Amino acid sequence: MLAIELVTKPLPPTIATEVLDLCLAGLKESRDIATLSSLRSIGLPKIMKNEFSALQDQLLKSQIVPEILSSHNIALDIIEELSVSNIHPLCKFLSDSDEQLDWRTLVPISSSLEKGMQGKVMNDLKSQDVDVFNSILCRGINEFDDDPVARKATLTFLRVCINLTNSSSANCDYLNKDDSLISLLTNIITADPRRYAEAYYRNEAQSDDDNSSTEEHELRESKFELVLLSLGLMINFVQESQNLKNLVLSTSSATNIKNTFEKLISRDVLSCYVQSNS
């Protein structure tokens, strides 16, 4: 994988599947190259050990920790730029490892999934390929305000799920094993009408070099993107799946969304924003 990492990106599509398999195996390996090179059972040739020693000396001189050269870290770097035509291996990896994966691992996986699905209708997936995204989205939405890495991954997974559910009633149903995701998306769309007001996203009376102001502004922009993507996914649900359409209409979700957009149409959002800041 170290050799692959040094190859000019993007990698040729002809080897993408083999590279993905290698990277997914690498994600399960926690030992760094220094440890692996010391294991006789691996059978590394002497020249490989000599080259590693030279590389280690260079890293120490440049104050780079050699332990960062692990299969796991290198695999993450490769996967983030990888576009594969078959996303089944990535879905299976997520399904097998969902509770063990941190957001730092999920960000490059979500990026690869998004690249591989662009412009495609995903009709060849099974329930186990898709329902794993339910728990990832629910977890990401709940941690959205507190973790910038979780925000990045959640927004990308939302785009992935919009692609998944385009023209696919089956994927819509697979993604909703219960009503938990629909309830969360509804809350995002309806919870704070101020998010639809342009003034909400302006850093008023703040200097450009104020770090806290910049972070707050970035959080608000991310929340706005979260609202739009949540709305897009909900539209796919009710447009593509009659089952989910009936579910939404049978709960308070439909009424809450309707009331929110009635306020938008009547421009109550602006007055809501003014009142809250007066």
Q: Among residues 100, 97, 238, which one has the least CA distance to residue 169?
A: 238
pLDDT at 210: 61
| Rounded Cα gap, residues 128 and 123, in angstroms | 14
pLDDT value at 47 more than 50: no
Question: Where does the pLDDT of residue 191 fall: very low under 50, low under 70, confident under 90, or very high at 90 and above?
Answer: confident
Cα–Cα dist 137/184, whole Å = 9
Amino acid at position 23, single letter: C
Rounded Cα distance, 84 and 274, in Å: 48
Model pLDDT for residues 92-124, shown as the tens digit of each residue: 999 988 567 899 999 999 999 999 998 888 888
Report d(CA 157, CA 162) in Å as an integer: 9
Q: Which burial class, exposed, middle or buried, applies to 228 when counting CB atoms under 10 A from its CB (0-12, 13-18, 19+)?
A: middle
Bridge-partner residues for 32, per DSSP?
A: 70
Bridge partners of 70, per DSSP, are 32
- Please provide the distance, in angstroms rounded to a whole number, between the alpha carbons at the two ends of the chain: 58
Read off the pLDDT band of 53 (50, 70, 90): low
pLDDT of 88 > 80? The answer is yes
What's this model's pTM, rounded to 2 decimal places? 0.79
Residue 18, Cβ neighbours under 10 Å: how many? 11
Specify the pLDDT at position 204: 46
Helix, strand, or coil (residue 39): coil
pLDDT of residue 274: 58
* pLDDT tens by residue, 196-247: 655 455 544 454 556 667 778 788 889 889 999 999 999 999 999 999 999 9
The band of 44, judged by pLDDT with boundaries at 50, 70 and 90, is: very low
Q: Are the CB atoms for 157 and 136 separated by under 8 Å?
A: yes
Phi, psi at residue 119, to the nearest 5°?
Answer: 75, 15
Domain map (residue ranges) of the chain: 86-276
**Distance between CA atoms of residues 18 and 16, nearest Å:** 6
| Average pLDDT over the chain, rounded to an integer | 80
Give the mean model confidence (pLDDT) for residues 137-166: 95
Distances (CA, A) of 240 to 102, 169, 208, 243: 32, 5, 44, 9
- SS3 call for 68: helix
142: three-class secondary structure by DSSP: helix
